[in-house]
Amino acid sequence: MNVEILFVVYGNLDIVSGGYLYDRRLAEYLTQRGHTIRVCTPGELSEQSAPEAGLCIVDELCHPDFRHEQQWNRLPASGVKVAMVHHLAAEEDLPVPDRLRHLLYERQFFRFPDYVIVNSRNTADSVRRLTPYRGALGLAMPGRDSESGLSEGAREQTSHGSERFRLLFLGNVIPRKGLHHILRYMEKYSPANLELHVGGRLDADPEYSKKMQHRVLKGGLGELVHFHGYVEDEQKRQLLQSAHMLVVPSSHEGFGIVYLEAMGYGVVPVAGRKGGAGDIIRNGENGFLIHPSRPRELHRIIGTLKNNPAVLGEFQLNARETWRNHPGWNETFRTVAEDMEMLAASRAEPSEKSGNG
């Protein structure tokens, strides 16, 4: 059964972020199953009539544009309405007025979907706890890319090939990702033989990025902290191959695809405790979950691995094993795809019967 699917996002599916990567992989998988995907923005929906579709998937990032019934009514009336949720904005570490505004908007948004897809157990809990939605909910964690990662021999070679202990931050340089917490640790403890590489867009929040770059220079860290800006796949692979630890101490992550990706290279991930990173990071075994605002925790963890090669090696092996045992994208998406196909088929049956009458 071919289903016409309308996928509503801000911008397009080629935007660089973990959330858009997830949406892109979902669209690719549904296409593999024989369905037709049309991508549009909320603005395009308001300017023209939506094409007919059996399924309408709305990325929950669009919640400000889908908090009222008339906004949902711009979607095809016959289509099953699906919300795709990466994390709730109301869970972010925002100023109180902004959090309350997002909470209101998201509670309004979740009155209307027929089905909700979430990327982690934590996101599922947030939807149940903070919104009025009580319908069917499908869990589809991000999958691993089979072509990523590297051999154990290559991991061993890169681990011992760098004089300095290399930290890596991968992600858009925005406050939520927590680069300032890493810089605070480096300022406070002045760790020896350590360097930090920052790979991620600097234009996502230009003001914050400039503050971080100025802080590095003012704090005398210019020779230790390297800003690479947005990194293409090959450069990202090189950074991961040469890194010992990935440190992205976000205030909140719905899942954190980058942690899983790093594990494929045997890089030990460090994430914030809040959010869904705990679905793949077992604290103190294959990575670490920290309170981002406590530099002492980061100091203790980095010191332990930097000064104990055998302990570092054990963590690297555990991280790699976690990646190896994690399912691929097709496997993680199969159940939610079958759920949506069943809903679309049941919605189509009454109209088909009435047409045959």
Residue 196 shares a structural domain with residue 132 = no
If one compares 321 and 1, the residue with the highest pLDDT of the two is: 321
Number of H helices, E strands in the chain: 13, 12
Same domain, 29 and 137: yes
The mean pLDDT value for 245-264 works out to 96
| 162 and 117 together in one domain | no
pLDDT of residue 160: 47
Whether residue 122 is found in the same domain as residue 171: no
What is the pLDDT, as a whole number, of residue 285? 97
Q: Give the strands of the sheet with 288-290, arranged side by side.
A: 225-229, 194-199, 165-170, 245-248, 268-272, 288-290
What is the extent of the structural domain holding 279?
Answer: 152-325
Q: Within this chain, do residues 319 and 335 fall inside the same structural domain, yes or no? A: no
Share of the chain above pLDDT 90, in %: 81
- Per-residue confidence band for 18, with pLDDT thresholds at 50, 70 and 90: confident
Considering the domain architecture, whether residues 161 and 208 belong to the same structural domain is answered as yes
Quick check: 355 pLDDT over 80?
no
pLDDT for position 134: 96
pLDDT-derived band at 157 (thresholds 50, 70, 90) equals very low
Q: What is the pLDDT of residue 357?
A: 47
Q: What does residue 199 show for φ and ψ, rounded to 5 degrees? A: -115, 115
Q: Which helix (H) or strand (E) holds 40?
A: strand 36-40
Q: Rounded CA gap, 153 and 155, in Å?
A: 5
Same domain, 289 and 316: yes
pLDDT in tens, 290-306: 999 999 999 999 999 99
Q: Are residues 340 and 319 in the same domain?
A: no
Between 134 and 47, residue with greater pLDDT:
134
Check whether residue 47 and residue 97 sit in a common domain: yes
Q: Which two tokens stand for residue 42?
A: 């909320």
Same structural domain, 135 and 158: no
In sequence order, which ranges of 58-139 are alpha helices (DSSP H)?
69-72, 96-109, 121-130
Q: In what order do the strands lie in the sheet with 55-59?
A: 36-40, 4-8, 55-59, 80-85, 115-118, 136-139
Q: Are residues 91 and 188 in the same domain?
A: no
Of these ranges, 18-32, 39-53, 146-160, 340-354, the one predicted with the greatest mean pLDDT is 18-32
- Are 239 and 199 in contact by the 8 Å Cβ rule? The answer is yes
Q: Is 135 in the same domain as 157?
A: no
> By C-alpha distance, which of 297, 302, 265 is closest to 157?
265
pLDDT for 182-235, tens place per residue?
Answer: 999 999 998 889 999 999 999 999 999 999 999 999 999 999 999 999 999 899
Contact present, 286 and 324 (Cβ < 8 Å): no
User: What's the number of domains the chain is made of?
Assistant: 2
Residue 137, pLDDT above cutoff 60: yes
- Identify the pLDDT of residue 234: 93
CATH of the domain at 339: 3.40.50.2000
Reported residue count of the chain is 357
